Amino acid sequence: MNGTNGRAAGTNGAAGADTSGGPGDSTRSVHAGRPPATPYEPSLPGPVFVSHYHLPGEATGPYTYGRDENPTWVRLEAAIAELEAPGDAAAATVSFASGMAAIAAVVLSQVRAGETVVLPSDSYQATRALQERLESFGVAVRLAPTAGDAQLAELEGARLLWLETPSNPGLDVCDIRRLADAAHAAGVLVAVDNTLATPLGQRPLDLGADFSVSSGTKALSGHGDLLLGYVTTRDAALAASVRKWRKLVGAIPGPMEAWLAHRSLATLALRVDRQAANALALANALLARPEVTGVRHPGLPTDPAHQVATAQMRRFGSVVSFTLPDQAHAERFLAALRLTAEATSFGSVQCTAERRARWGGDAVPAGFIRFSVGIEDADDIVADVLRALDEAAA
C-alpha cells in the first residue's frame, strides 16, 4: 500500500498522518459499508423505501419499523464509522435528516435541567441558537471562543463541551486532545463538530472526543443536492441514547438521501484532496491583494491556526475566509464571479461564496467573505477570483 495513505502532498498536516495501518483513504472511501460481492447483485444496493416491514410474532429483529431502522441507513452508517474510526468495531454512527438534527440530538439527549453546556462563541450560528432553547429548559450555557483553547476556562461543573474546529466561518482551530483531556478529567463529555474537516481531514474520536458530529450536507456528500447529518461514537451507551433520541423526535434521513451520500463517499478522498489544494492556492493568491485583509486558511504557514491544525489535521479543508473593504465592495465582487455560485453552504464540488454578514449572528465585518473552493482547476478558480476583484475595485 502506498505509504502516503491517500494523502495529497503539500496540502495535509504532516503530524496528523494515518497510523491505522489499513487501506488508504481512497480505498477505504470506495469500499466502506458495501456488502460482500455477490453474483448478479449491485455493489451498492439501491435505496430501500419502506415505512413498515413484515413482522410476524414478537417485535424483534433487525428491522421492525421505518422510523427505527432502514437497511440503506445501516450501510451508510457502517461506512461513515469506518472513516471516522478505521478498523474499530466499537465505533457506531447514527444518521440524521440534517446536520442540525445531529447536533441537536447530541446536545438534547445528553443534557438535563440544572446542567451546563459549554459552546464556542464563534461556532455555526444555528448551533449557538440552541442557547435560548437550552436555557428555557433550565440548562446553563457558557460561551468562549475557539482560538487559544479558551473553552478550557469554562469546564468546571459542565456536563458537555462542544467544540467546532476549524470554526465556521472564522476558521479558528483548537487543540482537541488538550481540551478533551481536560474535560474528561473534570467529568465532562466532549463533542466535536467535524463538518469542515471531514473524517478524512481529522478524526476527533482518535483525539479523545466522545462524539464526532458532522453535517453530511457539506463535503461528505459533496454535490450540494441533499441534507444529512450524523453522529459517531465509540461508546455503545452514548450511541444508544442518540439513536433513541432520533426515534423519539423522528429526525430520520430519507433512504434516497442516505443512498446518494453513500454513493458519493467513493470520491470523497479525491474531492477533499483537490479542494484542499485549490483552497491553498486561492489563499496564497489572495495574500497578494492589497484590498483583501484577514485571509484565513489553516493550510497557510502564516495562519494563526496553522501549528495546531498541522498537529491534528490530515487535510486542511475547502474553505477560505477573507474580508473586503465594505458591504458594497463585497457584493460587487460576488456579482462579478463567473465560476462561483453565491450560496450559503460549503464543501460542494462547485465553488460557492457568500457575504456571511447578510445573515446576522456572526461577529464578522460587513465585507467578510466565506469562500468554499470546489474541484474546478485551480488556475481557473484563481483567475476568476482575481478578475472579479479587479472588477469590484474599478
What's the confidence (pLDDT) of residue 291? 98
Q: All domains of the chain, ordered by start, with CATH?
A: 32-265 (3.40.640.10), 270-393 (3.90.1150.10)
CA 269 from chain center: how many Å? 14
pTM for the model stands at 0.94
With 0-12 / 13-18 / 19 or more C-beta atoms within 10 angstroms meaning exposed / middle / buried, residue 92 is buried
Residue 164 near residue 305 (C-beta atoms within 8 A): no
- What are the pLDDT digits (tens) for 110-153? 999 999 999 999 999 999 999 999 999 999 999 999 999 999 99
What's the confidence (pLDDT) of residue 361? 84
What's the confidence (pLDDT) of residue 3? 32
What's the confidence (pLDDT) of residue 10? 38
Cβ-based neighbours of 17, under 8 Å, separated by 6 or more? 5, 7, 314
Residue ranges in the chain modelled with pLDDT below 70? 1-20
- What are the pLDDT digits (tens) for 101-119? 999 999 999 999 999 999 9
Cβ-based neighbours of 344, under 8 Å, separated by 6 or more? 354, 359
Q: What percent of the chain has pLDDT over 90?
A: 92
What's the confidence (pLDDT) of residue 58? 87
What's the confidence (pLDDT) of residue 17? 45
